A and B are shown apart, each in its own frame.
Chain A
Amino acid sequence: MCGILAVFGCVDNSHAKRSRIIELSRRLRHRGPDWSGLHCHKDCYLAHQRLAIIDPTSGDQPLYNEDKTVVVTVNGEIYNHKQLREKLKSHQFRTGSDCEVIAHLYEEYGDDFVDMLDGMFSFVLLDTRDKSFIAARDAIGITPLYMGWGLDGSVWFASEMKALSDDCERFISFPPGHIYSSKHGELRRWYNPPWFAEQIPTTPYDPLLLREAFEKAVVKRLMTDVPFGVLLSGGLDSSLVAAVASRHMAESEAACQWGSQLHTFCVGLKGSPDLKAAREVADYIGTRHHEFYFTVQEGIDALEEVIYHIETYDVTTVRASTPMFLMSRKIKSLGVKMVLSGEGSDEVFGGYLYFHKAPNKEEFHQETCRKIKALHLYDCLRANKSTSAWGVEARVPFLDKEFINIAMGIDPEWKMVRPDLGRIEKWILRNAFDDDQKPYLPKHILYRQKEQFSDGVGYSWIDGLKDHANQQVTDAMLSNASFVYPENTPTTKEGYYYRTIFEKFFPKNAARSTVPGGPSVACSTAKAVEWDATWSKNPDPSGRAALGVHDAAYAEAVDAKNVSVMNGPPQKLQDGVVGKIATVV
């Protein structure tokens, strides 16, 4: 990832303004520790902090067209840049950077080229000939982007809110799949795939087609000039990514430079379910596996920094981001700059446990559509910002445009959870990779039900967070919550605690409005809460609290005797975990 910041029409081209832009751009330096660049044209500024993944030696930004009249600052990866270069034969390229095609595509096609880009990206492009500019964000919002307006009439764009929140009167999360053009003065959606209308598709399920689409999505993402790895939690999604990557690694360019053995990474409290599951998968595939342990105290100590980086107070996101944030630091310290990750599968296939209760295929399908459209506020935001905090780039093959089209074109009847037919959640994905002759994964892993992220790192993680929040937030504070925080009022002490931290860093109204709210159970949208009458009474948003649909949850709940299935396993908090010493292995 990189960090971009652009300011247009600020009616000020003094040295003081330049210094200010440089200072603000430095707030994004964690995203791009390798180099920085600033292009200034009259009262327009394009700044860039670079993480060098492709062409480290010459791809510093901003990038230009031939005569330097078009300037572009990009955060992202364009996987089809070589094919696009082929199309632009008459153009001369200055660097080997994958992002340079953007300036040339603009020259060739004007504003209408964004859908030609295959990848994840946010960019701002300035046409110095008429001082017009465009800004765009990738289809799903894998890369973050914010847009703001200054009182002086300036328009701002930044990869993270922290770079523009102090200088803009108002700002918003830039909608994914959109383009802003200064000529039209408005946002327009460039991403118009068939599934977007939420009509119910009818294509029958073809396992091989799905498999091939996913393999292609992974292979594309092996494009790199630097060391990389895979985040492996041992669940289905990350295990498939690792299995496919490992299988195709030998043929990739990356392997020539960095060796053909895949590195995998897993994080957890000592003895956590994920660590065990990931180890098993890593052993099976034969990767170089790295385990990182953290303690509850270390996680709690990191919370402020996590919230500063991910810029949300959404409870599930904060819980899940913290281990990922800690792990990213360790990954980076090994010299690894890029990781593949499994985000998006649960949205595309309805993998969350609450999908068990979907009343029919229409509701099921629409919920998956809603979930995908909201990804940029949740898992994409988490995956991107938790890793970018340490200059690690996360790539998410499940959110490949082609793959989404295929997966979302399947008749949702096939995605429904049908215990009667032996179909657990994400059955079509599991079945697609169920190859008896050349197995991707052993059957018991392929069909394993796994913890949702925050639980997988160790049950005491969420318990420890709640306990810590209980110590910091009093009953009186919570009872006044609706007055203190009228918008997205926190309903739990944990939610309240995260909110106080968020407000400290981002006190503006506009900031809190960038974070989604509303009722949710186990990551569902507000709409899906209607699927079960009992759900609306349970404010805990974690996967564990939901539903009692996980087979293992049934077993545990039985052990815990009279604990209701709704509340999940008992809340046993261990004093020993919250030790004062933060040591890590």
Chain B
Amino acid sequence: MCGILAVLGCSDDSQAKRVRVLELSRRLKHRGPDWSGLYQQGDCYLSHQRLAIIDPASGDQPLFNEDKTIVVTVNGEIYNHEELRKGMPNHKFRTGSDCDVIAHLYEEHGENFVDMLDGMFSFVLLDTRDNSFIVARDAIGITSLYIGWGLDGSVWISSELKGINDDCEHFESFPPGHLFSSKQGGLHRWYNPPWFSEAIPSTPYDPIVLRRAFENAVIKRLMTDVPFGVLLSGGLDSSLVASIAARHLAGTEAAKQWGAQLHSFCVGLEGSPDLKAAKEVADYLGTVHHEFHFTVQDGIDAIEDVIYHIETYDVTTIRASTPMFLMSRKIKSLGVKMVISGEGSDEIFGGYLYFHKAPNKEEFHSETCRKIKALHQYDCLRANKSTSAWGLEARVPFLDKEFINVAMSIDPEWKMIKPEQGRIEKWVLRKAFDDEEHPYLPKHILYRQKEQFSDGVGYSWIDGLKAHAEQHVTDKMMLNASHIFPHNTPTTKEAYYYRMIFERFFPQNSARLSVPGGASVACSTAKAIEWDASWSNNLDPSGRAALGVHLSAYAKLPSVPNGNLATKIINNVQLMMETPASGLTIRS
């Protein structure tokens, strides 16, 4: 990832303004530790903090077309840049950077080229000939982007909220799949895939088509000039990513430079379910596996920093971001700059446990669509910002445009969970990689039900967070919560605690509006809560609290006949604060 910041039309070209833009751009330095650049043309500033992944030697930004009339600052990876270059044989490229194509595509096609880009990206392009500019964000919002407006009539664009929140009167999250054009004077959606209308598709399930689409998505993402690895939690999604990457690494350019053995990374409290599961997969695949252990105290000590970086007060996101944030630092310290990660699968295939209760295929499908559309506020935000905090780039093959098209056109009947037919969640994905001759994964892993992220790092993690919040938020504070925080009122002490930290860093009204809210159970949208009457009584958003649909959850509580399993599971888990009296030790 990189960090971009642009200020357009601020009617101020003084040295003081330049210094201010430099200062704000430095707030994004963690995203691009390798170099920085600032282009100024009158009262328009385009700045860039670079993480060098492709062409480290010459790809510094901003980038230009041949005669330097078009300037572009980009955060992202364009996987099809070589094909796009071939499509423009009369253009001369200045660098080997994958992002160099954007300026040239604009020259060739005007504003209508964004859908030609295959990758994840946010960019600002300035056409100095008429001082017009365009801004765009990738289809799903894998890369983060914000837009703001200053009182002086300026438009501000930034990879993270912290780049613009102090200088804009109003700002918001830039909608994914959209383009802002100064000529048109507004936003329009450039991303128009078939699934977007949420009509129910009818293509029959073809395991091989799905498998190929995913393999292609992973292979594309092996494009790199620097060391990389795979985040491996041992669950289905990350295990598939690791398996495919390991299988195809040998033939890639990356392997010639960095060796053909794949590195995999896992984080957890000591003895956590994820660590065990990941180790098993790593052993099977033969990766160079790295385990990172953290303590509950390490995590709690990091919470402020995490919230500052990920810019949300969403409870599930903070819980899941913290281990990822800690792990990213360790990964980066090994010299690794890029990781491939499994985000997006649960949204596309309805992998969250609450999908067990989907009443019919229509509801199931619409919920997956809603979940994908909201990804940029949740898992994409987490994956991008937790890693970028340490100059690490996360790539997410499940959110490949082509793959989504294939996966979202399958008749949702196939995605439905049907215990009577032996179909657990994400069965279509599991089945697609169930290859007897060249197994991607052993059967028991391929069909394993796994913890949802925050539980997988160790049960005491969430309990520890709750206990910590309990100590710092009084009942009295909760009583007044709706008056202090009328928007997205925190309903738990944990949420209240996170909110206090968020408000300290980002006190503006625009900032709190940029975070989604509303009722949710185990990561569901508000709409899906209607699926089960009992859910609305339980506001804990973690995976574990939900539903009692996890098979092992049933097994743990054989004597409980039925009813509200959720609360009982919670009450049965002991609170375990792993806080050594003498402080903390951190091991890797």
The residue in chain A whose Cβ has the minimal distance to the Cβ of B52 is A333
Beta-carbon contact of B19 and A39 below 8 Å: no
Q: Decide if B37 touches A60 in the complex (CB within 8 Å).
A: no
B34 at the interface (CB under 8 A from A): yes
Q: A22-B304, A332-B33 are in contact. Are A35 and B330 (CB under 8 A)?
A: yes
B574 at the interface (CB under 8 A from A): no
Q: How many interface contacts (CB-CB < 8 Å) are there between A and B?
A: 93
* With contact pairs A26-B305, A333-B33 given, residues A35 and B588 touching in the complex (Cβ less than 8 Å): yes
**C-alpha gap A204/B494 in the complex (Å):** 73
The answer to whether A304 touches B19, judged by C-beta atoms less than 8 angstroms apart, is yes
Mark out the residues of chain B between 52 and 110 whose CB falls within 8 Å of any chain A CB in the assembled complex. Answer: 52, 56, 58, 60, 62
Interface SS of chain A: mixed
A41 at the interface (CB under 8 A from B): yes
A34 to B305, CA, bound (A): 15
Interface segment out of the listed B202-210, B264-272, B555-563, B578-586:
B578-586
Q: Distance (Å) between the CB of A10 and the closest chain B CB?
A: 15
Please tell me the size bucket of the interface on A. Answer: 35 or more
How far does the Cβ of A435 sit from chain B's closest Cβ, in whole Å? 36
Whether A18 lies near B301 (C-beta < 8 A) is: yes
- Whether A41 contacts B587 by the Cβ 8 Å rule is no
Judge whether B588 and A41 touch: CB under 8 Å.
no
The docked-state distance in angstroms from the alpha carbon of A334 to that of B275 is 31
Which residues 558-583 of A sit at the B interface, judged by CB distance below 8 A? 580-583
A360 part of interface (Cβ distance < 8 Å):
no
Chain A, residues 336-379, CB within 8 Å of chain B (1/0): the string is 00000000000000000000000000000000000000000000
Q: Looking across the interface, which residue of chain B has its beta carbon closest to that of A22?
A: B301
Give chain B nearest CB distance to A367 CB in angstroms. 39
- Contact string against A for B residues 267-282, beta-carbon threshold 8 Å, 1 for contact and 0 otherwise: 0000000000000000
Segment touching A, from B38-46, B214-222, B363-371, B419-427? B38-46
How far, in whole Å, are A66 and B579 apart by their CA atoms in the complex?
A: 20
Which chain A residues (284-305) contact chain B, with CB distance < 8 Å? 301, 304-305
Task: Give the total of B residues in contact with A, Cβ under 8 Å.
Answer: 40
Instruction: Determine, out of A50-58, A210-218, A229-237, A488-496, the stretch whose residues face the partner at the interface.
Output: A50-58
Tell me which of A58, A227, A304 contacts B22 (CB under 8 A). A304
Residues of A within 8 A of B584 (CB): 37-39
| Interface presence of B378 (CB below 8 A) | no
Report the Cα distance A334→B52, complex, angstroms.
Answer: 9
A198 interface contact, C-beta 8 A: no
Least CB distance, A31 to chain B, in whole angstroms: 13
Q: Are B23 and A304 in contact (CB under 8 A)?
A: yes
A580 close to B39 (CB less than 8 A): yes
Q: Is the CB of B333 within 8 A of A33?
A: yes
Q: Kindly state whether residue B359 has any CB partner on chain A within 8 Å.
A: no
- Nearest-Cβ distance from residue A110 to partner chain B, whole angstroms: 22
In the assembled complex, B35 has its CB within 8 A of some CB on chain A: yes
**Structural contact, A334 and B304, CB atoms closer than 8 A:** no
Q: In the complex, which residues of chain B have a beta carbon less than 8 angstroms from the beta carbon of A330?
A: 34-35
Q: Please name the residue on chain A nearest to B15 by beta carbon.
A: A472
Contact A58 B304 (CB under 8 A): no
User: Provided the pairs A22-B304, A26-B305, A304-B19 are in contact, do residues A334 and B56 lie with their beta carbons within 8 angstroms?
Assistant: yes
- Residues 199-214 of chain A, each 1 if its beta carbon lies under 8 Å from chain B, else 0: 0000000000000000
How far is it, in angstroms, between the C-alpha of A261 and the C-alpha of B58 when the chains are bound? 23
Q: Is B550 an interface residue when CB atoms closer than 8 A count as contact?
A: no
Is B466 an interface residue, CB under 8 A from the partner? no
Known contacts A35-B333, A582-B38; is-contact A15 B472 (Cβ 8 Å): yes
Residues in chain A near residue B506, CB distance under 8 A:
none
In the complex formed, the residue of B with least CB distance to A23 is B304
Least CB distance, A293 to chain B, in whole angstroms: 11
Contact A41 B26 (CB under 8 A): no
Which chain A residues lie closer than 8 Å to B26 at the CB level?
305
Within 8 Å by CB of A60, from B33, B39, B62, B586, lies: B586
Contacts of B22 in A (CB 8 A): 301, 304-305
Whole-angstrom distance between the alpha carbons of A580 and B17 in the complex? 13
Most buried by A among B18, B62, B471, B582: B582
Q: Which of B291-309 contact A (CB under 8 A)?
A: 301, 304-305
Q: Which 8 pairs of residues, A with B, have the shortest CB-CB distance?
A: A333-B34, A34-B333, A39-B583, A580-B40, A335-B335, A40-B583, A60-B586, A582-B38
* Apart from A41-B583, A301-B18, A301-B38, 12 more pairs, CB < 8 Å: A62-B583, A304-B22, A304-B23, A305-B22, A332-B33, A332-B34, A334-B56, A335-B227, A580-B41, A581-B39, A582-B36, A585-B60
Can you list 25 contacts pairing A with B, beta carbon distance less than 8 Å?
A22-B301, A22-B304, A26-B305, A33-B329, A33-B333, A37-B584, A38-B583, A39-B582, A41-B583, A56-B334, A57-B588, A60-B587, A301-B18, A304-B19, A329-B35, A333-B35, A333-B52, A333-B56, A335-B335, A390-B33, A581-B40, A582-B38, A583-B37, A584-B60, A585-B58
Chain A residues in the interface with B (C-beta under 8 A):
15, 18-19, 22-23, 26, 33-41, 52, 56-58, 60, 62, 68, 71, 128, 227, 301, 304-305, 329-330, 332-335, 390, 471-472, 580-585
